[in-house]
Amino acid sequence: MKANDLIKKYKMDYHVENGLFVERHYLSDKTGRADSGSIYYYIAPGEITQFHRIDCDEYWCHNAGSDIEIWSFTPEGFLRKYILGTSENAEPLVFFRKGEIFASRLPEESPDGSFITCITVPRFSYDGFELIEKEKMLEMFPESSDFWKLDCSV
């Protein structure tokens, strides 16, 4: 399926950090916050998602389309770079610990967008979501300045 077909099929809408998403599954519990949840997420060629931090663990699984570059800064301040996808240097699954700051991007020359599944444990909540502005990222992690350059070689 092409990206536009997937967007229509799943009735995806804009996400605050960029890209498109739709919540798909979650398991309810008695405390009010589900044990886990998942969304489908689409990122277009040349698109950059904003750095953000959440209060739960998150798995990103590549479903279709181009590989995607992900930059992550652990709570201890370590930089990690991943390629999520199916190419030789990519991983089909990436895991982020609670409290990691991360963002993703596709190179402008990507032939297609990237369609992924994000699974959170416990379920994602906007109460535990924080966008990190570019200026704050540069202050905390000066090496993050390279993220905004669309050369996705790692």
Nearest residue to 16 via CA among 139, 124, 146, 99? 124
Q: Is omega for the bond preceding 122 within 30 degrees of 0, making it cis?
A: yes
Q: How does pLDDT run across 20-51, given as a tens digit for each residue?
A: 888 887 766 666 777 888 999 999 888 888 89
DSSP-derived secondary structure letter, 111:
S
Q: Using CA atoms in the order 13, 14, 17, 23, what is the torsion angle rounded to 10 degrees? A: -10
61-72 confidence digits (pLDDT tens): 999 999 999 999
pLDDT band at 149 (very low <50, low <70, confident <90, very high): low
- For the stretch 66-87, what's the b/e string if a residue is b when 16 or more beta carbons lie within 10 angstroms of its beta carbon? bbbbbbbbeeeeeeeebbbbee
Torsion sign, CA atoms 10, 16, 17, 18: positive
